[in-house]
Amino acid sequence: MQQQLTEIQNIVEDVLKLAKQHGATAAEASMSKVQGIAVSSRLKEVETVEFTNDGGLGITVYHGQKKGSASTADLSPQALRLTVEKAIEIAKHTNEDPYSGLAEHALMAFDYPELELYHPQELDTEHAIKQVIAAEEAALNLDKRITNSDGASYNANIGAKVYGNSHGLNAGYHSSRYSISCVVIGEQNGDMQRDYSYSVNRDALLLDNPAKIGREAAEFTLARLGARKIKTTKVPVLFHRDIASGLFGHLVSAISGGNLYRKSSFLLDKLGQQVLPTWFAISEKPHVKRGLASSPFDGEGVITKDAEIISDGRLNQYLLTSYAARKMGMTTTGHAGGIHNWYINTSGENDQQMLAKLGTGLLVTELMGQGVNIVTGDYSRGAAGFWVENGVIQYPVHEITIAGNLKDMLMNIVAVGAVTETRGAIQSGSVLIDTLQVSGN
């Protein structure tokens, strides 16, 4: 394990030295090596088995304020030398940019925590095949209305990544990721619906049982049978926790440096101001052990750290790379490459209490389309879910559109459920929004 990491670090060190020898005033390089297996089945027959053994290196060099980047998947000494030379050549032909350069030396992750992100397991084809067949079998045997399958898949990836730069940083770590999913189709009185379930973890031994995943996929599909349209109306909307993180994904985009310095965000100049209800908070915790979005440092080698992104509904910080930070006269926040484990605070209600709070309105379980404008905040997406009356689910609905403006939607969040979705970078319960336009018949 350590040997592989050392080998990658040696390659990164070599290309950084090479860049210096070729006249670069500064340089940074990142490299990864990943082994993986992907197995898929359909109707309990194996469809694909794929092994991957990928590696790649990217280098960025600076000639003063001129920048050049190049990458290669060929890690032979000759290819690495050529890649450095190409980056140097590109840098010579680019315009000077006063904001380019490495992140500050003082922010580098020279000392970083071990986060237990690596749980290697043999990439066993037979095991993977048993997993996908078991998931489909459980789904197809649950109910005769489950008539078809869109397949099950099992993925495993183990590897290492290293980042180094001419500040003297050469840091890296191993990580692993495993997932299993199942998608099935149900039919009743000519109506066909599909749904899915999945599990993802750093440790393969902590994945959900494949039979459970199959049964869930079938149950979710059966619940959608008999879906109808509803009349166009304005009602409260409850975003199920499976999709609620998407709302906060739009918040991530709106407070990211690239959109802010380009003045293309609906949350421009909102630092220190209220953008969510006063009871609302979002914490970021990059160093959670085994966390799916945990990382000891960002894509520029900047040490990651805990942060209160939102407290009392106020926006405390933007999400900045070193480039965006210089553009805005600020300091990088360690977000080159994205966010690291966001925790959305809950208002405490369980699923039943969330439905009661919704009263009469729409529970959304699926969103479709890309109708979101981060510049204006305008939001319009296709949706499916369930019509709820007096806190009780009445029937499934589909072929509807929900619309609003993200600025208003965020401010009009009424509650966040206590049962949290944990399978992604943003951990949130179901989110209830006061009123949205729902277009149907």
Give pLDDT, residue 1.
62
SS (H, E, C) the chain: CHHHHHHHHHHHHHHHHHHHHCCCCEEEEEEEEEEEEEEEEECCEEEEEEEEEEEEEEEEEEECCEEEEEEECCCCHHHHHHHHHHHHHHHHHCCCCCCCCCCCHHHECCCCCCCCCCCCCCCCHHHHHHHHHHHHHHHHCCCCCEEEEEEEEEEEEEEEEEEEECCCCEEEEEEEEEEEEEEEEEEECCEEEEEEEEEEECCHHHCCCHHHHHHHHHHHHHHHCCCECCCCEEEEEEECHHHHHHHHHHHHHHCEHHHHHCCCCCCCCCCCCECCCCCCCEEECCCCCCCCCCCCECCCCEECCCEEEEECCEECCCECCHHHHHHCCCCCCCCCCCCCCEEECCCCCCHHHHHHHHCCEEEEEEEECCCECCCCCEEEEEEEEEEEECCEEEEEEEEEEEEEEHHHHHHCEEEECCCCECCCCEEECCEEEEEEEEECC
Domain boundaries, the chain: 2-224, 227-441
Which pLDDT tens digits describe the chain residue by residue (441 residues)? 678 899 999 999 999 999 999 999 999 999 999 999 999 999 999 999 999 999 999 999 999 999 999 999 999 999 999 999 999 999 999 999 999 999 999 999 999 999 999 999 999 999 999 999 999 999 999 999 999 999 999 999 999 999 999 999 999 999 999 999 999 999 999 899 999 999 999 999 999 999 999 999 999 999 999 999 999 999 999 999 999 999 999 999 999 999 999 999 999 999 999 999 999 999 999 999 999 999 999 999 999 999 999 999 999 999 999 999 999 999 999 999 999 999 999 999 999 999 999 999 999 999 999 899 999 999 999 999 999 999 999 999 999 999 999 999 999 999 999 999 999 999 999 999 999 999 998
Which class is domain 2-224? alpha beta
Query: What predicted TM-score, i.e. pTM, was given to this entire model?
Result: 0.94
Give pLDDT, residue 4.
86
